[in-house]
Amino acid sequence: MSELRFNELRGEQVDYAIHRQERTFLPPPDHCPLCPTRPGGAPTEIPFPAFEIAVFDNRFPAFEAPLGAAEVVVYTDEHEGSLATLAPRRAEDLMWVWRHRYLELGAREDIDYVLIFENRGVEVGVTLHHPHGQIYGYPFLPPVPALELAADTRLDGCAPCALLRAELHDGRRVVYENEGVVAYIPFAARWAYEAHVTLRAHRASLLECEAAELRLLSSALQALVRGYDALFDRPFPYVMVVHQAPTKPAPGPAAARAGTAAAGHLHVEFYPPLRTADKLKYLAGSEQGGGTFISDTLPEESAVALREAIARGR
């Protein structure tokens, strides 16, 4: 079992999941635990010879019942590829799988926040290359979503709605748009090629989206990742997280604000660690000790390059 300890000095939870040291680390492709179990082959995590999308409990969970959840979402039974190379229909299906997991995990008493995410590339610590993401069900409201709810309070309304309006008005950092979704590099991005993919309409979560919006969200995510891969002509590492409304009323400001303007607005954030084709951004003194990001590039300039790469990646 993992253990939560509260770090008083920073006012945050730290999760000790020491069994995770044993987890499978970059196995050869013929020992991939996320591939289907082929007839006559060694059993994998997925006991079927073929599948479309598979979800199962993480065998090395950071959180588990009765205090949260950790699940693995395998995008395809094909070992090679990425979110970008999935057939559009499969990417759209993935949105429905996310929505279903958000609904089911969010209904659990012990889960306050459902975080859907993907780590891609060894640069961000990936231990399995098979295209997959993860879902954590946190038994508390984590600090980053809590900050976003605080931004709603500070702006006296939905912060992602206000930021999207400002980005569309300015236009210089918008890198992709369709009828339902806009992708942009934020005005104050932390990472050189950070991008936020936001629903145009105010949707607290995937559950509030219409079917067409889920399809448009999947197209936007695929267009962005294809653009990332085209940017430096190499698989582009990133951390991708889906931010939505908490699934429990939280104590404090969030509860005070429940029933008012906003309590979350579905958007997907990408944090890519590359600042050039071969240089990584490291979190060092100022970022770790001061909590202040120092960036070598302006979001407006990165947006020009990313917009062109998305056009090339189509």
Name the residues annotated as catalytic.
132
Q: Report d(CA 263, CA 253) in Å as an integer.
A: 11
Q: Which of 101, 120, 130, 215 binds Zn ion (CB under 5 A)?
A: 130
If the CB atoms of residues 202 and 275 are measured against Zn ion, the closer one turns out to be 202
Of 70, 74, 73, the closest CA to residue 20 belongs to 70
132 binds Zn ion (CB under 5 A): no
Q: Is the dihedral of CA 151, 256, 210, 76 positive or negative?
A: positive
Instruction: Tell me, residue by residue from 87 to 126, as one string, x for binding to Zn ion by CB under 5 A and - for no binding.
Output: ----------------------------------------
Nearest to 116 by CA among 84, 179, 70: 70
Tell whether residue 59 is a contact of Zn ion (CB under 5 A).
Answer: no
Mark the segment that binds Zn ion (CB under 5 A) among 10-18, 24-32, 48-56, 99-107. Answer: 24-32
Spatial distance between the Cα atoms of 198 and 58, rounded to a whole number of angstroms: 28
Helical packing angle, 211-231 and 299-313, nearest 10°: 100
Residue from 20, 38, 59, 79 that binds Zn ion (CB under 5 A)? Answer: 79
> How many whole angstroms separate alpha carbon 309 and alpha carbon 290?
33
Closer residue to Zn ion in complex, CB, 270/313: 270
Asked if 200 interacts with Zn ion (CB under 5 A), we say: no
Least distance in angstroms from the C-beta of 245 to Zn ion: 10
Q: Shortest Cβ distance from residue 279 to Zn ion (Å)? A: 26
20 or 79: CB nearest Zn ion: 79
> Using an 8 Å Cβ cutoff, are 53 and 93 in contact?
yes
| Nearest alpha carbon to residue 187 among 165, 204, 216, 203 | 165
Q: Least CB distance from residue 205 to Zn ion, whole Å? A: 11
Give the integer Cα–Cα distance in Å for 282 and 279: 9
Contacting residue, 15, 24, 32, 124, with Zn ion by CB under 5 A: 32
Q: Note the residues at the interface with Zn ion (CB under 5 A).
A: 32, 34-35, 79, 130, 158, 160-161, 202, 243, 265, 269
